[in-house]
Amino acid sequence: MDVLHIETSNKTYPVYVGQNAIALLPDFLKENNAFGSSILIITDESVGHLYLQTLKDTLSDIEKEVYVSIVPSGEKAKTFDVYYSCLTRALEFNLNRKSLILALGGGAVGDLAGFVAATYMRGIPFIQIPTTILAHDSAVGGKVAINHEAGKNMIGAFHQPEAVFYDLNFLATLPLHEVRSGFAEIIKEALIEDPDFYSWLTTNIHSMDLIDMDQLAFAIKKGIAVKGGIVKQDEMENGVRAYLNFGHTLGHAIENSVGYGSITHGEGVMIGMVFALKLSIKYAGLNFDLTSFINWVTSLGYKTKIPSSLKAEQLIYAMKKDKKTTGREITFVLLAEEGKPITKTMADDEIITEIELMFENKS
């Protein structure tokens, strides 16, 4: 079992990573007497079917009331209606300001449950229990949110968890597209911060369905360490934390434009990363073998072109609606070198020219 520590301006919390990490949860709760007498587990339909009973069994010996709220799977969980229903459940169960929320699920459940915790009675504690690779990124750092039809994660808060219990056994049932979605964020973290880790990835990872547990554990821990280091410097995204958005400006726009759930987050981000790498080579002087990168990620099952059903102007509109955009121009995270991200603001006509070269029907 590995324990990483995430440091922010006002708290430090542990991230337990390993097989059967969930077994450490009861002792953690007993050692932290500040938590009240009631717990609300928020999980989704799919994860609940697989792992809710495991979590309830783990909690069977603690002297607390345990309640459950089941929400839809995926991005359908991150709506106003579902958020409101979770608050209603919390009120029905008489949760108080010392009650605890457990987020059992992927990134969507973690975002939703964290936002419920951030806003219920002006903020109550919560713990992240990720069940996807993608959630290695979203479970750490305290950004919690729900979506609006105008954009992803537009309504949210910064609310750090009390701990993260990352049980690798929960990853065993992930479908291949979810493995791929989560691994895109690991590739992103390597590119923006750790060239040696990026080299390890390209040398050792050749198939998404042949990754062994040791490789996966190593990659996840490296990704969390990158995320934690950046969060320590900039908890509220006033500076370097924006570098974690590498690939996300266009990626979120694609997600929003095709409809949440039609493409996974990681698949959208991968297309956005290819786009950002192209811009980096052209506008930031990056020396990078983009052809080899595209061949590698394509062999892992990623698409690297924008869906032909979309239009450049549509994506520009979506990017300007993104919460990361300020003013009328769009800012991208680029790489000056591997491990050295920068930001660059670009005019619409420049972006449209580059986007037009990225569609599926373009060579």
Would you tell me how many other CB atoms lie within 10 Å of the CB of residue 207? 10
Domains and CATH numbers, the chain: 2-173 (3.40.50.1970), 176-356 (1.20.1090.10)
Residue pair 166/221 in contact by the 8 Å Cβ criterion = no
Which residue has 């390209």 as its token pair? 202
Q: Can you give the pLDDT at residue 36?
A: 83
Residue 237 φ then ψ, to 5°: 60, 50
Q: Can you give the pLDDT at residue 326?
A: 60
CA–CA separation, 14 vs 35, rounded Å?
A: 16
Q: What is the pLDDT along the chain (363 residues), one digit of tens a residue?
A: 899 999 998 899 999 999 999 999 999 999 987 788 899 999 999 999 999 999 999 999 998 999 999 999 988 999 999 999 999 999 999 999 999 999 999 999 999 999 999 999 999 999 999 999 999 999 999 999 999 988 888 999 999 999 999 999 999 999 999 999 999 999 999 999 999 999 999 999 999 988 999 999 999 999 999 999 999 998 988 899 999 999 999 999 999 899 877 899 999 999 999 999 999 999 999 999 999 999 999 999 999 999 999 999 999 999 988 766 666 789 999 999 999 999 999 999 999 999 999 998 765
> Does residue 271 sit in helix, strand or coil?
helix
Question: Which residues line the annotated binding site?
Answer: 73-78, 107-111, 131-132, 143, 152, 170-173, 185, 248, 265
Distance of CA 164 to the CA centre of its chain: 14
CA–CA separation, 19 vs 12, rounded Å?
A: 23
Q: Can you give the pLDDT at residue 215?
A: 95
Q: Can you give the pLDDT at residue 262?
A: 84
Q: Can you give the pLDDT at residue 325?
A: 63
pTM for the model: 0.92
Question: Which residues line the annotated binding site for Zn(2+)?
Answer: 185, 248, 265
β-strand partners of 13: 6
Would you tell me how many other CB atoms lie within 10 Å of the CB of residue 2? 14
Q: Can you give the pLDDT at residue 114?
A: 98
- Which residues contact residue 316 at a Cβ distance below 8 angstroms, ignoring those fewer than 6 apart? 330, 348, 351, 352, 355
Question: Which residues line the annotated binding site for NAD(+)?
Answer: 73-78, 107-111, 131-132, 143, 152, 170-173
